[in-house]
Structure 1
Amino acid sequence: MSSAMASSIAKNSSPFKVVLGSSSPARREILADMGYEFTVMCADIDERAIRREKPEELVKALAEAKADAIKLKLHGENSAQGRDQPTILITSDQVMVSKGVIRERPKGQEEAREFIKGYSGDKAFAVNYVLVTNLSNGASKGGWDIPEIYFHHIPEDFIQNVVKEGHMTCVAGGLKLTHPSVLPFIKQLVSNYFETTTLASAITLRTANLYWTVSLQPLKQQQYRIHCSDFEISSYVA
Structure 2
Amino acid sequence: MEPGTSSYKIILGSSSIARRKILSQMGYQFTLMTADIDEKSIRKEIPEELVMALAEAKANAIISKLQTTGNQERVDEPTLLIAADTVVVYEGVIREKPSNKQEARQFLKDYSGRKAATVGSVLVTNLKTGLRKGDSDRVEIHFNEIPDEIIEKLVDEGITLNVAGGLIIEHPLIFPYVKDVVGTIDSVMGLPKDLTEKLLKAVLYNDEK
1:75 is matched with which residue: 67, 88, 110? 67
> Could you tell me which amino acid in structure 1 is paired with residue 197 of structure 2?
S
Which of 70, 84, 91 does residue 76 from structure 2 map onto?
Answer: 84
Residue in 1 aligned with 2:16?
24
Q: Which has the higher strand share?
A: 1
Unmatched tracts of structure 1, length 5 or more:
1-10, 194-205, 226-235
For normalisation by structure 1, the TM-score amounts to: 0.76
Find 2:197's aligned residue among 193, 212, 215: 215
The one of 113, 123, 137 equivalent to 1:131 is 123
State the Cα RMSD in Å.
2.6
The number of residues matched between the two structures is 203
**TM-superposition CA deviations, 1:39-66 (whole Å, max 9, x none):** 1100111111111111111101000000
| Structure 2 gaps, min length 5 | none
Closer, same or farther: CA 44–36 of 1 in aligned 2, 3 Å = same
* Cα distance in 2 for residues equivalent to 1:148 and 1:12: 32
Q: Contact conserved, 1:169 with 1:176, CA < 8 A, in 2? A: no
Query: For residues 223 and 104 of structure 1, what CA distance do their matches in structure 2 show?
Result: 29
* Structure 1 Cα separation of the partners of residues 27 and 153 of structure 2: 36
Calculate percent identity across the aligned residue pairs. 48
Change in 2 beyond 3 A, CA 1:218/1:67: closer
Higher relative contact order (CA 8 A, sep 6+): 2
Amino acid corresponding to residue 204 of structure 2 in structure 1 = Y
Q: Give the equivalent residue in structure 2 for 1:229.
A: none
Corresponding residue number in structure 1 for 2:171: 179
**For 1:66, what is the secondary structure of its paired residue?**
helix
Aligned counterparts, 1:96-135, within 5 A: 96-135=88-127
Tell me the CA shift for residue 211 of structure 1. Answer: 4.8
What is the CA distance between 1:160 and its match in structure 2?
1.6
- Aligned mates of 1:211, 1:156 — CA distance in 2: 29
